[in-house]
Structure 1
Amino acid sequence: MGWINVAVAASFEILWVIGLKHASAGWEWAGTLVAIVLSFLFLIRAGEYLPVGTSYVAFVGIGTIGTTILDMIFFGQPFEWIKLVFIFMLIAGIAGLHTASGRAKANEGGSG
């Protein structure tokens, strides 16, 4: 459940970061504010299930990946191979955190 909350929080983060850059109408700014609030509410919920540091790193990493990719696809940011390399490094790091937090949880359950 914690990782689902991180993914949802990061999805809203992507929306509000894009909104900060591209919003111009009042309803766009309102949507950006709603996305900010929902993003942090889901991040707080994720912290109930996962270590806060792990949640936050994954949240920021997923948000960075999504924002970078959407900026390239929809907003004309230039594609650069080096960005792709670092995006894959972020994905590998997030996957490693996911694996490590699962192992830590299994170890806690086995010692009780």
Structure 2
Amino acid sequence: MVDKERLNALSKWGGFVGVMTIISGIISALIGVFAFVVGAIPGIITIILGVKLINARAQADALISANIEGEQNLNVLFDHLNGYFKIQGILIIVSLVLLVISIVVAFATGFNFFDSFMTTPI
């Protein structure tokens, strides 16, 4: 049996985070378009993540309002959450790889972050 209180909490927080994610994705996409067209891609991915959470919320709400055990709705809810976590995980992996590449390039070129501050005249 699915705990309706937990589903209700998931619905509320999933909806809130989904809406905030969509709003930040729209802002990011707009800024990215003006900076460089490819810069809108992270914003678009963020919007997709927000939509995944909104869809998960809809399925949680359907489970809450159902008087019978909605196994199909539960599976769809997990599908949306699974998609959200996969995309988010891929973004984290890509970010970490780019960070490591940036550090390696910085050391290979001899860039010293702290020396750049020390030589700047006041």
Task: Give TM-score scaled by structure 1 length.
Answer: 0.52
Superposed, 1:29-40 pairs within 5 Å as 40=22
1:8-87 aligned at under 5 Å gives the runs: 8-10=16-18, 12=19, 40-45=22-27, 51-73=42-64, 75=65, 80-87=70-77
Structure 2 vs 1, CA of residues 94 and 41 (structure 1 numbering), >3 Å: closer, same or farther? closer
**Rg larger in structure:** 2
> Corresponding residue for 1:17?
none
Judged with a 3 Å threshold, the aligned counterparts in structure 2 of structure 1 residues 87 and 40 are, in CA distance, closer, same or farther, namely: closer
Count residues with an aligned counterpart: 79
Deviations 1:21-45 (A, max 9, x none): xxxxxxxxxxxxxxxxx77533335
The alpha-carbon distance between structure 1 residues 62 and 108, as it changes in their structure 2 partners (threshold 3 A), is same
Q: Is the 1:43–1:55 contact (alpha carbons within 8 Å) kept by the matching residues of 2?
A: yes
Give the structure 1 partner of residue 81 of structure 2: 91
Query: 67, 72, 95: which one pairs with 1:105?
Result: 95
Quote the Cα distance in structure 1 between the aligned partners of 2:94 and 2:21.
Answer: 26
Contact 1:9–1:59 under 8 Å retained in 2: yes
- How far does the alpha carbon of each residue in 1:57-92 deviate from its partner, in whole angstroms, 9 at most, with x for none? 21111001112212442x558652112112112211
Unpaired segments ≥5 residues, structure 1: 1-5, 13-37
- TM-score, normalised to structure 2, is 0.48
Offset of 1:103 from its aligned partner?
Answer: 0.7
Contact 2:15–2:53 under 8 Å retained in 1: yes
Task: Return closer, same or farther for 1:71/1:97 CA change in 2, 3 Å cut-off.
Answer: same
Q: Give the RMSD, CA atoms, in angstroms.
A: 3.2
